[in-house]
Structure 1
Amino acid sequence: MLDARDAAPLPDSLDQLADSGLSALASLANALREDQPAVVQAVLIGQSPAATPPC
């Protein structure tokens, strides 16, 4: 999803996390859903070179 910059699978991925039976993953899914438009934009845009720490 990130390499392809394709956010279409995001809702299904979040459903899988929520249904995993693991509270930490369900909590992560809920947090990502709270600001899903921003998450989608991050997937589509990717990491900017300015945000990459120097080696």
Structure 2
Amino acid sequence: MLGRTFNVHRDAVKQFLHTYDRDIQQYHDSQGVTNLRGHNRQAGRNVHQLKAFVQKHLQNLS
């Protein structure tokens, strides 16, 4: 999603995931995520909340 939605380069995505690993895990826990692969495509999933989470962290990087 970072690459597709926010046009972030693949290597930057890897760095983002590494840098914010703990925050991402906490986010997943708060959302009840049990399947990391494709969990944002599940019916009823609010991707706007995820986009806001990512946007906030991307702004912290710049």
What TM-score, normalized by structure 2, do the two folds share? 0.33
Higher RCO (CA-CA < 8 Å; seq separation 6+): 1
| Larger Rg belongs to | 1
What TM-score, normalized by structure 1, do the two folds share? 0.36
